[in-house]
Amino acid sequence: MDLYSRVLEVRVRKLGPGHPDVLTVRNNIAAVHHRLGRFAEARDGFLKLLLEIRRTEGPDSPAAAAVLGNLAAATGDAGDLAGARELMERVLESQERLTGRDSPKAVLGRINKGQAMWLAGERREGEYVLRGALETAVRLWGADHQLAALAASVIGKLASLEGRRGEAIFFLKLSVAAAQRTRGTLAEAGEGLERSFMSTVDIRYHILFDELMKAGRREEALEVLGLLKEDEIRGLESAAGPAREPGPTGTAAGDAAGGGAPGLEPAEGGGSLFAGTPEEAAWRAFEGAASALAASGAEEEEGAASGGAGDAFQAALTRLPELLSAGTGTAPAAAGKLRAVRERLAGTGAALVYAVSVEETLYLVMVTPDGLVTRETAAPRRVVFRLAMEFRELVRDRGRDPRPAGKRLYDMVVGPVAGDLEKAGARTVMLSLDGALRYVPAAAFWDGEGWLAERYPTAIFSGSTLDRMRDGGTGDKAGRPATAEAMGVTRAWPGFPELPGVAREIRAIVGSPDGPGIISGNGFLDADFDRGTFAGGLASGAQVVHVASHFALDSESLERTSLLLGDGTRLSLAEMRSSPDFDFRGLDLLALSACDTGSGARKGEDGREVESLGEVFLREGAQAVLATLLPVDDASATDLMREFYRLRYVEGMDKAGALRGAQLAMIRDGAGVPEPSPERGTLLSVLDGTASADGAPPWNGRGRSHPCFWAPFVVMGDWR
């Protein structure tokens, strides 16, 4: 808001109040008000902007139609549902005049109008409009089109609000199955439609997960969660183009068993979500009617009569409640996939804990070789987000005590299954986190007596984890790899501070002319660390590649996510993923003693980039990734890394246990509090301030026991 306000001031002064660039900034400011929940301010801003655009461009301009839609949304969120319904009607009329009745924007307008009518109390009429929009989308573009998926998701969401669980699950499954298949076509839809589609993707998966959990269908709920994570990583990858072809060993993106979902296969067709479930008969009836309707649409384009396909489609929708009430099935495919997960966990001593935040509930699902345990916490999603952001700020601030906030998060996320973990004899906890919880280091949760790191080694469970565990590590039985390639940046570059501790870190890991390191290998600093060095290190046969630098992460693009090299250039994650010069197969550990994967936290996002960063490298063949969730103190990172490598590759601990051991050594460090050193993070880290930590007590712990020194590091992939 502050930055947009400053931009507005400059543009008004330079360009005048009516310039299109000025109007764009005013729209953005109103949108930020909306995002912050200031709906009255947003509505006022959109209304004033609409009047100005109509004065300068006329009432039927595309810009006026777009702002009218924003005004309608803000009006509804401000509580004026009747006003929102009236405005949506005007939006639809405008779009039909501008683009035609059967244009994508007009169909989107009918979806928005139907939802507004339903919310304003015209439920029967609103659902009629929505079903008409679904029919039009299927007739024109097919049942897998993003607008058909969007219409189905809105119908499912409204059915959920009415307690019609069978219909809610059916329509949301339709939408999720289509989302799995239509991701690659989104760019063809245009930016506006893509945003509308993507803004509902997360919602539809979570509502479906919630409905399935309430119905006691836990295996299917976990399958949906796996599909959501698959959709997230594909969304980040889609901007970067195709990955390289898989080689004779290892896998390329999406080629791993389970398609990147956590042991669960993606929906290659609707049948994978419907087969053997109570919705299967209804789905087959819908598919038949939808196929006939799409065929009739193609015939219409060729000038042939369409017949009664539309009436048959609506009749199939009317029959759905009857078919759903008579449906039976226990989803054998989902049950089989979960059984495979449990078998993979056998003998590892690990428990897998899913934490999934929906509108009013935080679900906890613990999976062990012996079974499934489900717990619930009455914690609304907005509350979890706010607390996670507050805790993130406290963990970064060495002068504040994060334990009270950490205790609240422990009570939400770990406390409900603490007894179950103990009963299961868990020695390691794999965490599959959701939403804003992915921005915070679980190792720093406080149970009232100690940190979670003092109880368990933890690892982040992502889509490829089980596949990496199935493949097994590439090091020897003691965990000692043959060699390591260590690279780092010590000097300052524009936007990035110097990192004097990196030279000491590299020497400690691989040695120098003055003495041996923990692992035999090669070290490269500053100008010696360039694109060729990094590629050569990956191709050298080393089982560990260690990078100590800055990693600028963009939550929406692999192309804009980049690693700072020692010569001052940046290497994008997109290039690392697609170029044959960067081959991560056979790598036991990729250590990024560099990154700050929380940039999305500054935009109020859902943490998908945290998991996606590690997941990209895992899909490219790395066995495990060591990364950081927050910018880290340079000097402390050096000491923690040195102890991690000693425990892992000299003492023979598994990766998660070695990280925990290094963290414990720092927690118990009784020396005086060290002087602050530069942070390894991103250029974006200066924009932090997502949540206020005002009122937190001061920190009075000794040495480097504060989590800012040790908590940000996490292991993803094969933690063994």
Q: 230 vs 158, which has greater pLDDT?
A: 158
Residue 677: its pLDDT value, please?
66
At 43, list the tokens.
């509505």
Number of Cβ within a 10 Å radius of residue 14? 10
Band (pLDDT 50/70/90 cuts) for residue 128 is very high
Mean local confidence (pLDDT), 309-334: 94
Distance of alpha carbon 19 from the chain centroid: 37
Mean local confidence (pLDDT), 159-188: 83
DSSP string computed for 52-87:
HHHHHH-TT-HHHHHHHHHHHHHHHHTT-HHHHHHH
- Helical (H) or strand (E) element with 627: strand 624-628
Domains present along the chain, CATH in parentheses: 353-460 (3.30.420), 473-717 (3.40.50)
Band (pLDDT 50/70/90 cuts) for residue 228 is confident
Q: 498 vs 689, which has greater pLDDT?
A: 498
pLDDT score of 162 more than 50: yes
Give the whole-angstrom CA distance, residue 517 versus residue 253: 34
Residue 691: its pLDDT value, please?
43
Q: 179 vs 72, which has greater pLDDT?
A: 72
Lowest mean per-residue pLDDT among 59-68, 101-110, 132-141, 666-675:
666-675
- Helical (H) or strand (E) element with 180: helix 165-182
3-class DSSP assignment, residue 455: coil
DSSP string computed for 244-285:
PPP-SSS--TT-SGGGGSSS----SSTHHHHTTSTTHHHHHH
Give the whole-angstrom CA distance, residue 643 versus residue 648: 8
**Mind listing the pLDDT tens digit for each residue in 656-682?**
999 999 999 999 986 555 666 666 654
Q: Taking the C-alpha atoms of 268, 273, 274 and 276 in order, what is their torsion angle to the nearest 10 degrees?
A: 110
Mean pLDDT of the chain: 85
Residue 676: its pLDDT value, please?
67
β-pairing, 713-717 vs 624-628, is antiparallel
* Angstrom distances, CA of residue 88 to CA of 65, 80, 195, 196, 326: 10, 12, 18, 15, 37
Lowest mean per-residue pLDDT among 14-28, 80-94, 152-166, 557-571:
557-571
Residue 560: its pLDDT value, please?
76
Mean local confidence (pLDDT), 466-490: 69
Give the whole-angstrom CA distance, residue 649 versus residue 515: 18
Mean local confidence (pLDDT), 54-80: 91
At 183, list the tokens.
């991701």
**Mind listing the pLDDT tens digit for each residue in 560-597?**
788 899 999 999 988 998 899 999 998 999 999 876 55
Give the whole-angstrom CA distance, residue 147 versus residue 143: 9
Band (pLDDT 50/70/90 cuts) for residue 269 is very low
3-class DSSP assignment, residue 458: strand
pLDDT score of 542 more than 50: yes
Residue 682: its pLDDT value, please?
40
At 356, list the tokens.
């999934």
Query: Taking a C-beta distance cutoff of 8 angstroms, is the pair 375, 364 a contact?
Result: yes
3-class DSSP assignment, residue 366: strand
Residue with tokens 């963009």: 554
Band (pLDDT 50/70/90 cuts) for residue 605 is low
β-pairing, 562-564 vs 570-572, is antiparallel
Mean local confidence (pLDDT), 96-108: 92
**Mind listing the pLDDT tens digit for each residue in 364-409?**
999 999 999 999 999 999 899 999 999 999 999 999 999 999 999 9
**Percentage of the chain surpassing pLDDT 90?**
63
Number of Cβ within a 10 Å radius of residue 705? 16
Residue 479: its pLDDT value, please?
46
Residue 267: its pLDDT value, please?
38
Band (pLDDT 50/70/90 cuts) for residue 129 is very high
**Mind listing the pLDDT tens digit for each residue in 688-702?**
334 445 578 999 888
Residue type, 550: H
Q: 684 vs 26, which has greater pLDDT?
A: 26
Distance of alpha carbon 422 from the chain centroid: 30
Residue 232: its pLDDT value, please?
77
**Mind listing the pLDDT tens digit for each residue in 409-430?**
999 999 999 999 999 999 999 9
**pTM of this prediction?**
0.86
Lowest mean per-residue pLDDT among 130-134, 270-274, 548-552:
270-274
3-class DSSP assignment, residue 518: coil
The DSSP output letter for 679 is: E
At 449, list the tokens.
């007596």
pLDDT score of 303 more than 80: no
Q: 684 vs 412, which has greater pLDDT?
A: 412
Give the whole-angstrom CA distance, residue 510 versus residue 314: 69
Residue 681: its pLDDT value, please?
54
Mean local confidence (pLDDT), 550-558: 71
Residue 110: its pLDDT value, please?
95
Band (pLDDT 50/70/90 cuts) for residue 523 is very high
Mean local confidence (pLDDT), 617-644: 89
